[in-house]
Amino acid sequence: MKRILLFALLSAALTACGSGDGSGQEESAGDESQNTSEETEEQGQTEESGEGQQSEADASEIIDRAVAEWGEASSYEARQTFTISSGDAQNVVRTITTQSEQDEVKVEVDNGSAVDVHYVIDGDHFTYEDGSINEEDADVDMNGSTYGEIIQNLEAFKGGEATKTEGGYEILFPVGSSEDVAGFVDQEVLDSLDGAESMNGQVTVMLNDEYQYTGAKMTLTLEDEGSEINMISNLEYMRIGEIDVLEKPKDM
């Protein structure tokens, strides 16, 4: 259940800020400064140098800073879309997960034909359907579901390639085996990945300029028995540290 609460796959949409465009703009500013004064030229060179430094980033340092700044946070809302396709077949699952500061969790799962709503309150698992509350037999281990614990899972991406973007940072991490995503998929998906003949893809992690982990995107292509399976997962985090109490049905 822990990995289900963390979603089928870790992910989020991100557009990188092109460092080449920024460099070109600074060079133009430098040329113009040569036609004015020494002072302006010196200013342009300083700005150019600063811009160059912004385009470079270290994944390990970024993740360490994120853990230091947000490792104690609990609450968040996360929205994910997971698409799996092969040939003409396609399946899309959308989830909304809400975690409160009281360690209460709500997970809404929309598979296109039905929406399942799950609550985890004090370790007890409930489902909510047609106005009825049903308590499930199995208790749930809540370890790993808080925002701070999710942030700590980013340790696996310290070896990725980091880039400074307009709004913060992105970290690119290549996927070449099931071991690369073992911490971010449930056991059923992991078993299917282990049986694949080949696998390649990429995880893109996004953080804002306050070092909040705001989302990720994962693309994965599998080859198995002559068939190609494509997986795309987009994830976005919001309302970080802002949800004191979870809204839940009466009498739960």
Query: Has this prediction a pTM greater than 0.85?
Result: no
Q: Is the pLDDT of residue 43 over 60?
A: no
Q: Mean pLDDT across the stretch 208-231?
A: 92
How many CB atoms are located within 10 Å of the residue 227 CB?
10
Query: Per-residue confidence at 57, pLDDT binned at 50, 70, 90?
Result: confident
**CA pair distance 48, 44, nearest whole angstrom:** 6
- Which stretch of 39-43, 84-88, 207-211 has the lowest confidence by average pLDDT? 39-43
Model pLDDT, residue 206:
97
- In this prediction, residue 16 carries a pLDDT of 24
What pLDDT is recorded for position 122?
85
Q: Distances from the Cα of 220 to the Cαs of 15, 182, 200, 201, 232, in angstroms?
A: 18, 13, 6, 4, 7
Between 143 and 220, residue with greater pLDDT: 220
Q: Report pLDDT digits (tens) over 44-56.
A: 444 444 444 445 6
